[in-house]
Amino acid sequence: MGVWHFVEKNLQQVLFLTWEHIFMVALSLIIATAIGVPLGILITKKVNLAKRVINSANIIMTVPSIALFGLMMPILALVGQGLGKVPAIVALVLYSQLPIIRNTYVAIKNVPPSLRDAGKGMGMNKWELLKEVEIPIAVPVIIAGLRTAAVMNIGIAAIAAYIGAGGLGVYIQQGIDRVYPEMIISGAVLVSLFAILVDGLMAGVEHLLTPKGIQLQKRSAQ
């Protein structure tokens, strides 16, 4: 088949582009987590802020990715970074915010009030309550948000090839320009495979980081 032949012939380049793709998605996810999770937790304590933050994240989500890349260009051009990986990563971070913030917010909010009450009644301060009770219980849902963001970003990063960010999207973009079906399909298949792989990987992480007691609780609830 053409795809297999194409990948075999360009193995060196395929590996390099895959690496670029991984780099963009991983780095953006790390930055997005560092922003989104604390923000998600913060807005559970500040109710009037919650609506605004989640709405903003929602609005970013509605901007088409190609348009967001376009918007990034003139802004980041001011610091000389209009093209390449920087605007791509900034856009990916922005896109990740909704699933991450929303999941974190919902997960913490859904901690049963009786548990919060028990913690407070036993003399935990806000920080202890967060660390000992709220976060451990929220972890599975927070990781599920990261998982959504990661898979989504793999797809969006493919489009970042149009602003010169590299990655596997390069094959799709160039394949279209050169009317080279094997190249387009190779790019598409590789991106899809990567997404499936990451989805499975994140499912593993989710399972690994879920406290044992919570897993047992879920099993017995079924």
The mark string for 76-115 relative to another protein (x by CB under 8 A, - otherwise) is ------------------------------------x-xx
Out of 49, 132, 197, 207, the residue judged to bind another protein by CB under 8 A: 132
Sole window of 8-16, 39-47, 87-95, 121-129 interacting with another protein (rule: CB under 8 A):
121-129
Total residues binding another protein (CB under 8 A): 25
Q: Which is nearer to another protein, 61 or 214 (CB)?
A: 214
Out of 12, 64, 212, 222, the residue judged to bind another protein by CB under 8 A: 212
Sole window of 22-30, 77-85, 125-133, 178-186 interacting with another protein (rule: CB under 8 A):
125-133
Sole window of 72-80, 141-149, 179-187, 208-216 interacting with another protein (rule: CB under 8 A):
208-216
Out of 89, 133, 142, 159, the residue judged to bind another protein by CB under 8 A: 133
Q: Which is nearer to another protein, 9 or 126 (CB)?
A: 126
Following DSSP, what letter does each residue of 166-178 receive, concatenated? -STHHHHHHHHHT
Q: Which is nearer to another protein, 28 or 210 (CB)?
A: 210
